Amino acid sequence: MPDLIFLQLEPMPYLVRQRYCSHKNALHEVEDYDKKAIENLQEPKPLTWEECVVNLLTLDMLAANNTHMKIDYTKGLSTFAYPDLQEKRVHDNLEGKFVEAITNHIICDNWSPYYEVN
């Protein structure tokens, strides 16, 4: 299974959501997050390399609407890429949540005209 997959999709829906999570972490004074780091949630271009990477932990924070310090990693998607960290039953049950998170927070009805990408 690949650790990283490169796709080109409309980035703004996910960028805005990721910036929202970063800003929320800054407001809760989580280490390494600065309130002044994000001036505009809707800046039309990525500001850092990290914004170009879909992070499973970010998807967990979006689903829980909380900072990464206050979510249960064992029940979220952040360990989905490591099936040895979860029971097979738990891992298999996360597949639907994984597809739902991608649909809601990354695709956002901006489906590709190419079937293979979708």
Distance CA 91, CA 88 (A): 5
**Apex CA 105: angle with CA 75 and CA 23, to 5°?**
85
pTM over 0.75: no
User: Which of 15, 37, 17, 14 has the alpha carbon at shortest distance from 26?
Assistant: 37
For residues 78 and 67, is the Cβ–Cβ distance under 8 A?
no
What string of pLDDT tens digits covers the 118 residues of the chain? 677 777 777 788 888 888 888 888 888 888 888 877 777 888 888 888 878 788 888 888 888 888 888 888 877 888 777 777 777 887 778 888 888 888 888 888 888 787 777 7
